[in-house]
Chains A and B, each alone.
Chain A
Amino acid sequence: MKLQWRLAALKNGFQDATAYRVEFLFEILGSALVPAAIQWVLWYALFQLGGATQVAGMSYMDLIHYTFVSLLFSQVRGGDHDFELAEMIRSGQLSNYLLRPVGVVEFVYIRGVASRLFIAGLCLTLGVILAQFLGFSGPRMIGAMFLALLGNIIHYQVGAALATTAFLWEEAYSLLMVKNMVVNLLSGELIPLNLFPPSLQWIWKSTPFYLFVFGPTQYALGHWSHTEFFTQVGIALVWIGLGRALIRGTWGLGMKRYLSLGG
């Protein structure tokens, strides 16, 4: 039974995401190609136009490789299902879910993650093919994708905890937008995090966001040893444990305030 509803939610989420196939395709292309082009342009400006030979110890080709490989993982980290949770609280739709014999936070996650799993599969295939041409290791790509999927869970947990502010202020949209912007910069999606000046490196190191894109990319490119990788997987699991506790706490408090009025 437990597995059955989860599989049903996964199937439902996948059907929902692909109901409008053209939109789905546009979304993937738009969210992949344009950010990659922007990154590439920055490296082009620094190296080809600016004449730099190395930036923070990285060559032009190092940065190009980073851009292409990080693109595969940045497609996995996303998902707007935390926004869905906030909207359910705000509108009172949450009541419908409370009547069901399933955990609402997990249900929304599973339904929302379906499309990401599909994308992760595509990206992994692409990554393994890319690895053959660029001389990376295929198994490393699989490990990196595993870390990216752990990152996806952490990302949702942070969003689900933030969404509970909707119990207090009705509206959590802005807070979730702020979270997305911060994640955008601190996950390594915009630029490699080792470009941060040494005095500012603590900023990204003290959040779990680097595990979403930067970490998987570092491992896939061979910049992290296997030991480092397994340490980071351990750290990710600790963050997941903390996230779970955070969700229990915030949702427990939030449900005490919930009025189910909507509007």
Chain B
Amino acid sequence: MKLKIKRYLDVYGIQFKNNLVREAVYRTNFLTAVTVDLIWMGVEVSLFSILYANTQTIAGWSREQVYFFLGIFFSSDALFTILFQRNFWAFSDLVNKGELDILLTKPIHPLFLALSRSMNLTAVFNVILGLIISARYAGPAGFTGGWHWLEWGAWLIFGLYAALQMRFLFSIWIFWTDRSWAFSRLYYQFFAFATKPDTIYPKAIRYLILTALPFAFIGSVPARALLHGLSAYEYVGAAGVLISLTGINSILWKKGLGRYQSASS
């Protein structure tokens, strides 16, 4: 078991080194990527600024609490961008062009290889920026701070795992369809639900983003947990949703592999 873990860590280390070299070569890319992300964050913050110019609270969330939530959301999303985003964009080519063949022959899980090949290290900047925004508004938002910042890290990983499972759920259909662009786009359309606190949604949508498509797990649930704490029911529910999603994805992956015909051969 220890050997197996070491093998995976070694492979991951090599992938990381390759990506680091690639990022160092394309320095202009770093600047432009950071600019795009900054504008995106600016648009999200501006949207709430405009709304709060017309009202004091939105569904019980003060301006500072929403900014605290946005900080967590930006960091969580940036973490996903660093580790997985590029790999999911390349996922459909893996299946369509038969590139998955080579991964299936390796003595390591093909999904691990498929989802760890490319990293977007420029997004580290966004994780830090998200943390700064959270830290700036933590006090006014009512976050107690101190050792609770460790929880901040844990909730970030929770959000990352939820995003990973959902993105996979939207990508796996490539085994059944010719192109998966529509599903990928659909993911990003639904992703918009993650950019607002879940309590502002009507019951039906809220139920959807807390269960079948848990986009609220990316930033909203972590923010609520850090600000007010969750009930035992919510903790159990969140765990249940993520376990179910993982199970469904595992089944779909196995079924998908069963259909895979190696298009390139």
Give residues in A with beta carbon < 8 Å to B. 20, 22-23, 26-27, 30-31, 33-35, 37-38, 41-42, 44-46, 49-50, 52, 55-56, 169, 171, 173-175, 177-178, 181-182, 184-185, 190-191, 195-197, 200
Contact = CB atoms under 8 A, between A and B. Distances in A.
A205 to B, nearest CB: 15
Interface stretch (B107-115, B129-137, B197-205, B248-256): B197-205
B202 A174 contact: no
Interface string B182-202: 110110011011001000111
A31 B59 contact: no
A42 B55 contact: no
A42 B53 CA distance: 14
5 A-B pairs with the lowest CB-CB distances in the bound complex, closest first: A174-B32, A45-B200, A26-B182, A23-B182, A30-B189
B57 to A, nearest CB: 6
A23 B50 contact: no
A197 B53 CA distance: 7
A56 B54 contact: yes
Interface of B: 28-29, 32-33, 35-36, 39-40, 43, 46-47, 50-51, 53-55, 57-60, 177-179, 181-183, 185-186, 189-190, 192-193, 196, 200-202, 205
Contacts of A184: 43
A90 to B, nearest CB: 13
Contacts of B183: 26
22 contacts: A26-B183, A30-B186, A34-B192, A35-B189, A42-B196, A44-B201, A44-B202, A45-B200, A46-B51, A49-B200, A52-B55, A55-B54, A169-B28, A171-B28, A174-B33, A174-B35, A177-B39, A178-B39, A184-B43, A185-B43, A185-B46, A200-B50
A181 B43 CA distance: 7
Interface of A: prevailing SS = helix
Contacts of B186: 26, 30
A37 B36 contact: no
A120 to B, nearest CB: 20
Interface of B: prevailing SS = helix
Given A26-B183, A41-B200, A174-B32, A197 B189 contact: no
A50 B28 contact: no
Given A171-B28, A175-B32, A42 B51 contact: yes
B74 to A, nearest CB: 14
B189 A196 contact: no
Contact of B50 (A37, A174, A196): A196
A38 B193 contact: yes
Given A184-B43, A185-B46, A178 B54 contact: no
Contacts of B190: 30, 34
A41 B202 contact: yes
A42 B39 contact: no
A175 B179 CA distance: 27
Given A41-B205, A50-B58, A50-B59, A197 B43 contact: no
B154 to A, nearest CB: 28
Contacts of A200: 50
Contacts of B189: 30-31, 33-35
A42 B47 CA distance: 11
Contacts of B182: 20, 22-23, 26-27, 30
Residue of A23, A175, A197 ringed by the most chain B CB atoms within 10 A: A23
Contacts of A46: 51, 54-55, 58
Nearest to B195: A38
Given A34-B190, A41-B201, A197-B53, 16 more contacts: A26-B183, A30-B186, A41-B205, A44-B201, A45-B58, A45-B200, A49-B60, A49-B200, A55-B54, A177-B36, A178-B39, A182-B43, A185-B43, A190-B47, A195-B50, A197-B50
B54 A195 contact: yes
